[in-house]
Amino acid sequence: MKIEEAVNIDDLRRLARRRLPRIAFDFIEGGVEDEHCIAANEESFSRHRLVPRYMVDIARRDQSAALFGQSFASPFGIAPTGLAALFRADADLILARAAAAANIPFIMSGASTASIEAAAEVAPAHTWYQLYAARDRKISADMIRRARDANLSTLVLTVDVPVSSKRERNVRNGFELPLKLKWSKSLEALMHPLWIADYLRRGIPRFDNWAPYAAPGASAKEIAAFVARQIPCSVTWRDLEEFRRLWPRRLVIKGIMHPDDAVEAARIGVDGIMVSNHGGRQLDQAPAALEVLPAICAAVGDKLTVMLDSGVRRGGDILTALCLGARFVFVGRATLYGTAAGGFCGAQKAIDILRKEIDLVMGQIGCPSLEGIGPGFLLQPDAPALRTTERAEPDSAALLEPLRLADKGAR
Ligand code: FNR
């Protein structure tokens, strides 16, 4: 199969698996321990059903979505994914470019190999920066300054990596940084000549973003060791207050899973939160992000912007999350599979697949614009029966009005 022939994100996943050696593919694909959390994320979407409304004029469908005062062409963006250059040379910048071309946001990872400045140059209006707080808080303060100087609009602080997690695929594969292929792994890697050629041509990816803080003239390996001493580390609400003080623009906290934490973030003056379990990579016992989303939305109301990632593989998943209260959705693996499989074209293909799926589902459910999306389209899992509404003709107000399908008192 060629990239152009990929029909869905799973096809891109298969193409990525074919191109990458196991040690690299498993790093993308894998989660923590038994990977129950990954399964919970994916299953949470399949548990929700969208109830179609027909005979609505859907001849023109508009999936553009406003976020923090900026209009994006679709209601999803690219979540931060570290070490992307292991899968494809310059993957961070490929993703940034693809996001800018598609007019969606791109979050540059705090564990990226390219620098903040390089991403800001290729996608000035679409790049956000994700901060991993460093043990040496002077480094974090300087990264915030650099993001400000690069004119980025939004800083994303990831809080769900207080400790490294036990990702068993990585342990078994002997994954360490910089990537060292042991004999047995090298033989397997030789079966993926395109990846090997790319890797050898570029050399070991270097954490350019962190290079200014390591010893002068440090090698890629020494910088990687330096980064490993700085992150992960513990982050507290007091640190958040300090970051809020240092960063005057939009501040988003990524990894919030409890309504009380969302309320505290709002109290500190954060602009947005991303409900996320890091794509099932940190706590295997964590609930699916989608499961905790409604309670979090109910707790914070309009005090801040609630977004979500973790487990999104379909355009319909994105619409389901919007129905449950998310204002915007992010994808991690979907665009990474595309990039690993086919570089810029692959990233574009992933975005295009999700976009077309959103468009078709909007047409199918009778929702011509995202202003109309809401809980009214959801069949709650425990609904005793569909309740008829009084309106004879659905209009946009009716679309907005919750059907309250789960209202147990309904007859
Ligand atoms: C991630 N994720 C992540 N998150 C973050 O805040 N900083 C990071 O550097 C990374 N790195 C990273 C690498 C890889 C290979 C993956 C797959 C994920 C988590 C990411 O931002 C996002 O939360 C999840 O990927 C969302 O889940 P899905 O869409 O992959 O199911």
Series of mean pLDDT values for 10-residue runs along the chain (411 residues): 97 97 95 98 96 98 98 98 93 98 98 96 98 98 98 98 96 81 75 87 88 95 94 96 98 98 98 98 98 98 97 98 98 98 98 98 98 93 55 40 37 27
* Ligand 1 pocket residue status of 309, Cβ below 6 Å: yes
- CB 80 near ligand 1, within 6 Å: yes
The protein residue whose alpha carbon is closest to atom 5 in ligand 1 is 80
Predicted pLDDT at 346:
98
Q: What is the DSSP letter of 133?
A: P
Query: Does residue 332 line the site of ligand 1, with CB under 6 A?
Result: yes
Specify the pLDDT at position 382.
59
**Amino acid identity, position 125:** A
pLDDT of residue 311: 98
**376 secondary structure, DSSP code:** G
Nearest atom, ligand 1, residue 112 CA: 9
Of ligand 1's atoms, which has the minimum distance to the CA of residue 277? 23
For ligand 1, atom 9: residue with the closest CA: 82
Between CA 282 and CA 166 the distance in angstroms is: 8
- Active site amino acids: 278
Find out whether the beta carbon of 28 lies less than 6 Å from any atom of ligand 1: yes
Nearest of 140, 362, 341, 112 to residue 240 by alpha carbon: 140
355 lines ligand 1 (CB under 6 A): no
What spacing in Å lies between the alpha carbon of 219 and ligand 1's midpoint?
26
pTM of the model: 0.93
**CA 355 to chain CA centroid, nearest Å:** 15
CA distance 277 to 286: 7
Run of H or E residues at 65: strand 65-67
Whole-number pLDDT of residue 411? 27
pLDDT at 187: 79
What atom of ligand 1 comes closest to residue 29's alpha carbon? 17
Coil/strand/helix, residue 60? coil
Q: Is 276 in the pocket of ligand 1 (CB under 6 A)?
A: yes
For residues 153 and 128, what is the distance between their CA atoms, to the nearest angstrom? 6
Residue 38 Cα: closest atom of ligand 1: 31
Nearest-angstrom CA–CA distance, 218 and 223: 6
Q: Which amino acid is at 360?
A: L
Residue nearest to atom 16 of ligand 1 (CA): 81
